[in-house]
Structure 1
C-alpha cells in the first residue's frame, strides 16, 4: 500500500533539491541576502492568496462532510490567520500592505500556483492535495532539517522567526494531519493511479525548487 513516503522516495532527487536548496541552506546560516528574502516574502504573499483559492476549490471537490469541513477550515486559517501574520511579518521587513497589493507575480509564482489550480480543476481532491503537499508538508520537513543541522544559526539569525514559524507545534500538527490524510487515500489507489500522482508530486516539487531559485535570483 503506497503512502506519502513512497511519493517522496519516487521523487528522491527532486525532494532533496527542494528541502536542501541553497536558499534554505543560506537562510539557516543567516547568510541569505536580505533582498532575496524580501523578494521571496512578497511572492509568498501572492502564493498564499492562490493557496486560499486552492482550498476553496478543495471544498467544491469534497465528497463528504468531513472533507468539506477540512477544506473550509484550511481556507479560514489562510484567510484569517496566515495572511494576517504574513502581512505583519512583511511589515517587519519594511514591506507595507499597500506594497503587497500592487505586486506583479513572478513567472515562478504564476507557474506554480496555476499548476496547483489546474491539477485541482482537471483532477480530483487527491490530485489537488498531492499538488499542495510539497508546500504544506515540505516546509515542515525543511524546518525540522534546519534544526538538525549544526550549521543552522538561531541566535542573531534574521530568519530565526521563519524557522520557528514552520517548526511550531501548530504547523507540525497541520503537517501531520495532512500526511495522515494522504496516507489513508494513497493506500487505496492502484499502481497506475499512484504513478499519475507521482508525476503530479514531482512537478509540484520542481516548481517549489523554482520558487526558491526565484528568491535567490530576485526574478
Structure 2
C-alpha cells in the first residue's frame, strides 16, 4: 500500500465525510443552491490565497532544488490557473477580484488555512505536504467521481465548469504530480516513529476540508432549519 493510501485508510471516516459530502453531490446533479456555491467559491478564493502562501513556505522548506521546483510549480498552478477559475465564475455574479479579496473570511477558512500553515512552520516539508494533500489530491479524486455521474456535464448543470476544471487532464496531472512527490518525500523522511504524527496531520486536514463543505452547505437556503 502506498503512503497516501495508508493515510487515507487511517483516516477513512474523515475521508468519506469529505469526498462523499452532500455539497459535492449537489454539484454533480445541479441541485446545489447557487447561494451555497457562491459562498463556498468566495471563501475558497480566500483559502487559495493562504494555500499559495503554504506552497511558498514549501519552497523554503525544500531540502533539494528538485523539491523547490516542484513547490514553485504548485504555487504557479494556484496563482495562475486555479484562482482564475474562481474569478471567471464569480464575474457572472458581478463580483470583481477586489470584491473577492475584501470578503471577510469564515471561521472555517481561518481554521483550515491556519492549521496548514502551522503544520508547515512546525514541521518539515513532508509534514507540510501531508497537510496539503487532502486538498490538492482530494479535489482531483472528488471531481473524477462527480464527472462519472450522468448529469455532471449536462447543459443545465450550472456546476459543470467547476467539475470540468478539476476533473480535466491539467488539474488531474497537478494532483498526480503532488501525489508522486508525496510518495518520494515519504520514502526519504517517513519513519515508523513518525507515522502517528503524519496520520494525525492528515486526519485533521481532512476533517477541516469536510468542515469547509459544511460551511458551504449551510449557505443553502433549502437546507436551513
Q: Residues 34-73 of structure 1 correspond to what in structure 2 (within 5 A)?
A: 34-73=34-73
Partner of 1:79: 79
**Alpha-carbon displacement from aligned partner over 1:119-149 (angstroms, at most 9, x marks no partner):** 0000010111010111100000001111233
- TM-score calculated relative to the size of structure 2: 0.92
Would the aligned equivalents of 1:8 and 1:15 in 2 still touch at CA under 8 Å?
A: yes
- TM-score calculated relative to the size of structure 1: 0.94
**Alpha-carbon displacement from aligned partner over 1:56-112 (angstroms, at most 9, x marks no partner):** 100110111001111122222322332233212211233222321220000000000
Partner of 2:223: none
Would the aligned equivalents of 2:151 and 2:157 in 1 still touch at CA under 8 Å?
A: no
Q: CA deviation at 1:169?
A: 0.4
Would the aligned equivalents of 2:42 and 2:103 in 1 still touch at CA under 8 Å?
A: yes
Would the aligned equivalents of 1:59 and 1:67 in 2 still touch at CA under 8 Å?
A: yes
- Structure 2: gaps spanning 5 or more residues: 221-225
Would the aligned equivalents of 1:4 and 1:186 in 2 still touch at CA under 8 Å?
A: no
Partner of 1:197: 198
Aligned residues: 219
- Structure 1: gaps spanning 5 or more residues: none
Give every structure 1 segment of 4 or more consecutive aligned residues whose post-TM-superposition deviation is greater than 6 Å. none
Deviates more, 1:172-181 or 1:1-10: 1-10
Taking the aligned partners of 1:35 and 1:107, their CA distance within structure 2 comes to: 18
Taking the aligned partners of 1:12 and 1:187, their CA distance within structure 2 comes to: 22
Taking the aligned partners of 1:214 and 1:150, their CA distance within structure 2 comes to: 26
Taking the aligned partners of 1:156 and 1:26, their CA distance within structure 2 comes to: 13
Partner of 2:135: 135
Deviates more, 1:92-101 or 1:12-21: 92-101
What's the RMSD between the two structures over aligned residues?
Answer: 1.7
